[in-house]
Amino acid sequence: MALAIILVLLVVGSVLFHFLSPWYLTPIASNWNYIDDTLTITFIVCGIVFVAINFFMAYCVYRYRYRKDRRAAYEPENKRMEWWLTVFTTVGVIAMLAPGLFVWAKYVEVPDNARLVEAVGQQWKWSYRYPGADGILGTVDIRHMDGRNPFGMNPDDPNGQDDVLVNGPEIHLPLGSPIKMLLRSKDVLHDFYVPQIRAKMDLVPGMITYFWFTPTRAGRYDVLCAELCGTGHYTMRSHMVLEEESAFNAWLATQPTFADTQAVKVASAGGSLAEQGRQVAESQGCIGCHSIDGSPSVGPTWKGLAGRTETLADGSTVVVDDEYLMESISVPNASIVAGYPPIMPPYQLDEGEMAALIAYLNSL
Ligand code: CUA
C-alpha cells in the first residue's frame, strides 16, 4: 500500500513540478519553431507514458497485493495483450520520430538566398568570418595559420582579401534573412549553440559543417560550446547580436577585412605596444583561459600579474618578471603555478608579438 501511494505521489509531484516550474524554453529568436514543436510532441508522448505506466504499477501493487487465500495464476501467453502493446508502442514511437524527420528535411535544405557566415572554433574561443562585398569566402588552409593569420586565410586568393574577420567576442547578424552558418574547428570537436536559435551543430576538425536559420527577434544572446572540448570548455563563450540590417551594416563596417589585418601588421601600426599586445592576446585565444579582471579561470588571472610572487607546483616561488613571462608563453609547462593543471600549449610568437604581449601583461 505504501509503495502504491509513493508511486502516485511521484507522478503527481512530477506533473505539478512541470506546470509550476520557472524553467521554460527561452523565447525563440529564429524560424525554428518546428524544433520546439517536435520537442513538445516528444515531451507529451513521454509524459503520457510516464503517467500511465506509474499509475498502472500503483494499481497492480495495490490490486494484487499479497493475500493468504490467493495464488498467482501462470499465464505464459496472452496474444491479445501482446498485440495491444505492440500497436500502442509503435504508434508512440512513430509519433516521436516522424515529426523529427520532417524537421530534419527542412534543416538540411538551405534557402538559395542564405548569406554565408563562418564560425571558427578553437580551444577555447570563437571567431567569425564574413565573405565581404563579393559574397564569396576566400579559401583557407591550416598551413597559412599563424599569429598574423589566425584564420589560415590563403594570402593569394583574391576572394579572401575583402573577407571580414571578427576576432572579438561578438557575432552580429541582420534580422529577417536566412543565414547559413559554416562551422570550422582548428583543433578538436566543438558545438555551436545559441539556445534562442534552437538549431545547433558540431564542429568537426577537417571538415566544414553547417546549419541555417533566419533571425527573427532582436537581442543579445549567449553563444555556447555544447561539446566537451577540454578543461576550458565552459569558458568557450561568445555573444550573438541580432539587429536591424542598418545597424548590422554599420557594425560590420567597423570590422577589419583580411587585407586590413595584413596591412596593419606589415606597417606595425595600430596603437601603442600594449594595445598591439592586447590584439595578440585576443587573436591567440589567451583570454579564453586568463581573465584580466582577477576572476578565476582555467589559468592564473592576468590582473596585477607583473611583479606578483607566484608559488610554483614544486613549492618554490618566483617573482613574475619579463623573463618568467616569456618562458611561460613559449614553454608553459616548465614552471607551473601551484593549483593549475599543466594544460597550456606552447606558443610560438615572433619577437615583435612577444614584446607587445609582455608590454600588455605589464600594463594590467
Ligand atoms: Cu569548445 Cu566545448
Q: pLDDT tens across 69-124, in order?
A: 888 888 889 999 999 999 999 998 898 889 889 999 988 899 999 999 999 998 88
| Adjacent-strand bridge partners of 191 | 202
- What distance in Å separates the CA atoms of residue 239 and residue 172, rounded to the nearest whole number? 8
For residue 230, the CA-to-ligand 1 centroid distance in Å is: 7
Percentage of residues in the chain having pLDDT higher than 90 = 37
Q: Measuring from atom 1 of ligand 1, which residue has the nearest CA?
A: 190
Closest approach atom of ligand 1 to CA 203: 1
Task: Return contacts of 54-59, CB within 8 angstroms, 24+ apart.
Answer: 54/7, 54/8, 54/10, 54/11, 55/7, 55/8, 55/11, 57/7, 58/3, 58/4, 58/5, 58/7, 58/8, 58/11, 59/4
Residue whose cell numbers read 527573427: 216
Residue 237 alpha carbon to ligand 1 centre in Å: 9
Residues with CB under 6 A from ligand 1: 121, 124, 190, 225, 227-229, 233, 236
Atom of ligand 1 nearest to the CA of 226: 2
Residue 266: what pLDDT? Answer: 47
Confidence tier at 234 by pLDDT (50, 70, 90): confident
Domains of the chain: 2-66+76-107 (no CATH), 115-260 (2.60.40.420), 265-363 (1.10.760.10)
Residues β-bridged to residue 211: 181
Q: If you measure from the C-alpha of residue 187 to the centroid of ligand 1, how many angstroms do you get, rounded to a whole number?
A: 10
Average pLDDT over residues 283-307: 81
Instruction: Name the average pLDDT for the chain.
Output: 87
Distance 318 CA to ligand 1 centre (A): 32
Give tens-digit pLDDT for 201-230.
999 999 999 999 999 999 999 999 999 998
DSSP-based three-state secondary structure for 281: helix
Q: Which atom number of ligand 1 is nearest to the Cα of residue 230?
A: 2
CA–centroid distance, residue 341 to ligand 1 (Å): 18
